[in-house]
């Protein structure tokens, strides 16, 4: 067993894990943060996307020990303490960017990273940026609309976007 | 995944010390191929040695007019690097087309070339740009580094430290991506290096290869039209559910033309 210490959604945590424990297992099974989903478990679907030091990654394809000393943000860490949704979450609700909701946590986490790393987002950039996230319900149309609106809202509400 | 002992060394000498004593050890960089392989129980290493904390293996710098990229430099870092954009912009574009955004945030140059997947993008870049692979023991010309399907010239205890690219003239890369994985069904890189034209093909064969007839044709006339009528023999090319050998052979010519157009544009 190896000791791993990291920050998850702003809180410091330390756990004993095996070398083979995946980051997503640490989040879901050890910390009870089940908002991060496991879809394919083969690095393709993106349901498990979280942020590690601000960058979106697939938490089913990273060892928990590799996150030692780093900061992880999951879908549970996006909304404000009073429950106010992050602008990207609000945009997904407003534009109905989901049907069954299984892929949604990963979609939102990828979208937040995409919005932060591009000064200007257009439809093509969003569709390419979501290549690592698979939705089997929606056909992506409303997801793309939601990401564009969410990115716009993040720009006009910089204080809240910076808070997460 | 089978259990293994995890190590996180902080220097290259510590890495080589760990590797030399352990026959069944595996090195992990970004883990975007190794972790899925472990999850499928296709490998059972006794030890996994993580290069993530070895600072000397990471980073991008200009050297002797060319580009040196550390082994653990991530695809997203190559894609976003001002130095790469200035010296070999098409290499940044190539890196930006690997996998998806999340894979590019973890996957590394060294990991990709050591795995030597026949459909990976970087082998075409290294061979096409006449790069040199630096290891803890020696330097290896890219063409001698990639020896076969998932095989390289590396010895058991040898570690890639960096890749050096000379500054090229015109460069173009075009690939026909598998729509699911974004791996190259066929990818062709065309480059002018030291006054000669090089054409490197990935995805089509068991290992990256050069296309001498195309190089000769482009040497006298650097245009897509110069490749008209040139064909690649389908014999020995890869065939799977995604593309037959004949289809891949045709794609080589098509991608080569597109690469020339990108290079000339």
Mean pLDDT across B85-92: 98
Q: What is the pLDDT of residue B22?
A: 87
Fold classified for A87-159:
DNA polymerase; domain 1 (1.10.150)
Q: Residues 106-125, chain B: which have Cβ within 8 Å of A?
A: 106
User: For an interface test with B, which of A18, A38, A58, A59 has the most B Cβ atoms less than 10 Å from its Cβ?
Assistant: A58
Return all residues near B48 (Cβ < 8 A) that are at least 6 apart. Answer: A19, A63, B4, B5, B6, B7, B25, B26, B27, B28, B34
A66 vs B3, B38, B52: nearest CB = B52
Instruction: Determine the Cα–Cα distance for residues B68 and A104; give it in Å rounded to an integer.
Output: 39
A161 pLDDT above the threshold of 80: no
Chain B residue with Cα closest to A117: B80
B101 with A131: Cβ contact below 8 A: yes
A57 vs B1, B4, B106: nearest CB = B106
> What is the residue-averaged pLDDT of chain B?
97
Put simply, whether B66 touches A (Cβ < 8 Å) is no
A58 vs B48, B102, B181: nearest CB = B102
B209 pLDDT above the threshold of 90: yes
Fold classified for B57-264:
3.30.465
B101 with A114: Cβ contact below 8 A: yes
Confidence of residue A159 (pLDDT cuts 50, 70, 90): low
B100 pLDDT above the threshold of 60: yes
B36 vs A42, A65, A129: nearest CB = A42
Residue A120 CA neighbour count, 13 Å, CB half:
1
Q: What is the pLDDT of residue A138?
A: 84
Give the number of A-B residue pairs with CB atoms closer than 8 Å: 72
Mean pLDDT across A13-31: 98
Chain B residue with Cα closest to A118: B80
CATH 3.20.20.70 matches A2-77: no
B17-55 burial, b for 16+ CB within 10 Å, e for fewer? ebbeebeebbbbbbbbbbbbebbeeeeebebbbbbbbbe
Q: Is the separation of the CB atoms in B94 and B127 below 8 Å?
A: no
3-state secondary structure of B135: strand
Q: What are phi and psi of B172, to 5 degrees?
A: -140, 140
B21 pLDDT above the threshold of 90: no
Residues of B with Cβ-Cβ distance to A63 under 8 angstroms: 6, 28, 31, 35, 48, 50
B47-83 confidence digits (pLDDT tens):
999 999 999 999 999 999 999 999 999 999 999 999 9
Put simply, whether B22 touches A (Cβ < 8 Å) is no
A122 pLDDT above the threshold of 70: yes
A47 pLDDT above the threshold of 90: yes
Q: What is the pLDDT of residue A51?
A: 98
B235 pLDDT above the threshold of 90: yes
Report domain extents, chain A: 2-77, 87-159
Q: What is the pLDDT of residue A162?
A: 53
Q: Which CATH architecture has domain B5-50?
A: 2-Layer Sandwich (3.30)
Tokens of B21: 């004593």
Put simply, whether B181 touches A (Cβ < 8 Å) is yes
Confidence of residue A160 (pLDDT cuts 50, 70, 90): low
Q: How many CB atoms lie within 10 A of CB A25?
A: 18
Q: What is the pLDDT of residue B105?
A: 98
Instruction: Determine the Cα–Cα distance for residues B210 and A147; give it in Å rounded to an integer.
Output: 42
B112 pLDDT above the threshold of 90: yes
Q: What is the pLDDT of residue B23?
A: 82
B130-188 confidence digits (pLDDT tens):
999 999 999 999 999 999 999 999 998 899 999 999 999 999 999 999 988 899 999 99
ipTM: 0.94
A7-20 confidence digits (pLDDT tens):
999 999 999 999 99
Report domain extents, chain B: 5-50, 57-264
Confidence of residue B88 (pLDDT cuts 50, 70, 90): very high
B9 pLDDT above the threshold of 90: yes
Shortest alpha-carbon distance between residue A63 and chain B (Å): 8
Mean pLDDT across B189-204: 97
């Amino acid at each position: 067993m190896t000791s791993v210490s990291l920050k998850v959604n702003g809180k410091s945590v330390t756990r004993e894990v095996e070398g083979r424990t995946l980051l997503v297992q640490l989040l879901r099974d050890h910390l009870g943060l089940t908002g991060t989903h496991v879809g394919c478990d083969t690095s393709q679907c993106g349901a498990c996307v979280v942020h590690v030091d601000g960058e979106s990654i697939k938490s089913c394809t990273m060892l928990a020990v590799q996150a030692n000393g780093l900061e992880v943000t999951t879908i549970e860490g996006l909304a404000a303490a009073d429950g106010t949704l992050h602008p990207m979450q609000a945009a997904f609700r407003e534009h109905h960017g989901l049907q069954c909701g299984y892929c949604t946590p990963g979609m939102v986490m990828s979208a937040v990273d995409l919005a932060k790393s591009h000064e200007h987002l257009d439809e093509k950039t969003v569709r390419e940026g979501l290549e690592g996230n698979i939705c089997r319900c929606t056909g992506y149309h409303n997801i793309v609309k939601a990401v564009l609106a969410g990115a716009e809202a993040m720009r006009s509400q910089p204080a809240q976007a910076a808070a997460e | 995944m089978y259990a293994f002992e995890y190590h996180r060394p902080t220097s290259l000498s510590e890495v080589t010390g760990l590797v030399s004593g352990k026959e069944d050890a595996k090195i992990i960089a970004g883990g975007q191929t190794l972790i899925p392989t472990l999850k499928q129980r296709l490998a059972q290493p006794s030890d996994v040695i993580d290069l993530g904390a070895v600072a000397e293996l990471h980073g991008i710098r200009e050297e002797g007019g060319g580009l040196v990229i550390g082994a653990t430099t991530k695809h997203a870092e190559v894609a976003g690097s001002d130095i790469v954009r200035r010296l070999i912009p098409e290499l940044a574009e190539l890196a930006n087309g690997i996998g998806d955004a999340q894979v590019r945030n973890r996957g590394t140059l060294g990991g990709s070339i050591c795995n030597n997947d026949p459909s990976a993008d970087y082998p075409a870049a290294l061979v096409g740009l006449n790069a040199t692979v630096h290891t803890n023991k020696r330097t290896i010309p890219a063409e001698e580094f990639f020896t076969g399907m998932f095989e390289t010239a590396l010895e058991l205890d040898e570690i890639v430290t960096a890749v050096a690219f000379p500054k090229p003239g015109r460069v173009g890369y075009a690939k026909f991506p598998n729509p699911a994985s974004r791996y190259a069904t066929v990818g062709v890189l065309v480059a002018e290096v030291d006054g000669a034209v090089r054409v490197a093909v990935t995805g089509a064969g068991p290992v990256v290869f050069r296309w001498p007839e195309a190089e000769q044709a482009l040497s006298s006339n650097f245009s897509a039209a110069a490749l008209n009528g040139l064909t690649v023999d389908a014999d020995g090319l890869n065939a799977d559910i995604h593309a037959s050998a004949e289809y891949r052979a045709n794609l080589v010519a098509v991608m080569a033309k597109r690469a020339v157009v990108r290079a000339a544009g």
